[in-house]
Amino acid sequence: VRNANDITRRLDAGAARVVVGSLSVTDSRGFISWLKHFGAEKLVAALDIRIDEQGVPWPRIHGWTDQGDRDMWQLLDELADGGLKHLLCTDISRDGAMSGPNLDLYSAITKRYPRLHLQASGGVSNLDDLEQLKPTRASGVITGKALLEKRFSVVEALGVLR
């Protein structure tokens, strides 16, 4: 998604929500204007996060090749104040690694921003990981590689998450 026309085309094609990645970081003001124009229910900010040596989460952009100009907390303060409702957050150190989700990161996000609907992404490898995500209060979870490798079924996952 590079502009408002991209969003319009996707919504007109039947998408319930449109995920916006790097632009939600590099042009947060523009993204907030889209939240107002299209409605906060129609957009998701997708933040790919790398945590530095001091434990600070930094958004990565352009296919993880560059770092955003402010940390995730500073960015989320602005986006939440601007009306953000839906956040997809990926801990890129765990993406595809199936090493378990970053429970501390997702718990910190939902504690600090209780109105955000968080989709946790990165690290899920088994049904126990899904069970462990429950206390984080994430609204959803991305289970891509685990499903692809048939570690569990969608039916089994939904059973755990109910």
Q: Give the mean model confidence (pLDDT) for residues 125-150.
A: 96
Is the pLDDT confidence value at 148 over 90? yes
pLDDT band at 66 (very low <50, low <70, confident <90, very high): confident
* The two structure tokens encoding residue 70: 């402010």
Q: What is the pLDDT of residue 95?
A: 84
- The SS3 call for residue 21 is coil
Is the pLDDT confidence value at 96 over 80? no
Closest CA to 35 of 95, 82, 100, 97: 82
Angle at 79 between CA 72 and CA 16, to 5 degrees: 110
Percent of the chain clearing pLDDT 90 (strictly above) = 88
**pTM of this prediction?**
0.94
pLDDT band at 97 (very low <50, low <70, confident <90, very high): confident
Is the pLDDT confidence value at 27 over 90? yes
Backbone angles phi, psi at 121, to 5 degrees: -140, 140
Closest CA to 17 of 42, 46, 49, 53: 42
Closest CA to 89 of 21, 39, 159, 144: 21
Q: What is the pLDDT of residue 62?
A: 87
Rounded CA-CA distance 122/112 in Å is 20
Rounded CA-CA distance 85/72 in Å is 16
Q: Given its phi and psi angles, is residue 127 left (phi above 0), alpha (psi -120 to 50 degrees) or beta?
A: alpha
Residue pLDDT, tens place only, 103-126: 999 999 999 999 999 999 999 999
